[in-house]
Amino acid sequence: MIIGGPSSQLLAGRVAAILGERVALCEYRTFPDGEAYTQLQSEIDDDVVVIQSTPSDRDIVYLLQLLDIVRGRNVTLVIPYFGYARQDKIFKPGEPLTARAIASALNPFLNGGSRVFTVNIHAQSVLTHFKCRAESLDATPLLAEEIRRLDLRDPVVISPDRGAIAMASRASEILGCEFDHLEKTRYSGTEVSIAPKEIDVRGRDVIIMDDMIATGGTMATAISMLRRQGAQSVHLAAVHPVLTGNALLKLYHAGVDRVIATDTLDRGVSTVSVAPLIAGSK
Contact 99, 130 (CB under 8 A): no
Catalytic residue among 131, 184, 250, 282: 184
Known catalytic residue: 184? yes
Q: Which positions ≥6 away from 5 have C-beta within 8 Å?
A: 12, 26, 28, 50, 51, 52, 53, 59, 62, 63, 66
- Cross-strand bridge partners of residue 259: 236
H-helix or E-strand containing 49?
strand 47-51
- List the one residue out of 117, 122, 146, 144 whose CA is nearest residue 133: 117
CA atoms of 136 and 108, how far apart (whole Å): 20
The 3-class secondary structure across 165-225, one letter per residue, is HHHHHHHHHHHCCEEEEEEEEECCCCCEEEEECCCCCCCCEEEEEEEEECCCHHHHHHHHH
CA atoms of 137 and 282, how far apart (whole Å): 11
- Cross-strand bridge partners of residue 236: 208, 259
* Maximum Cα interatomic distance, the chain, rounded to a whole number of Å: 65
Bridge-based pairing state of the strands 178-186 and 156-159? parallel
Residues involved in catalysis: 184
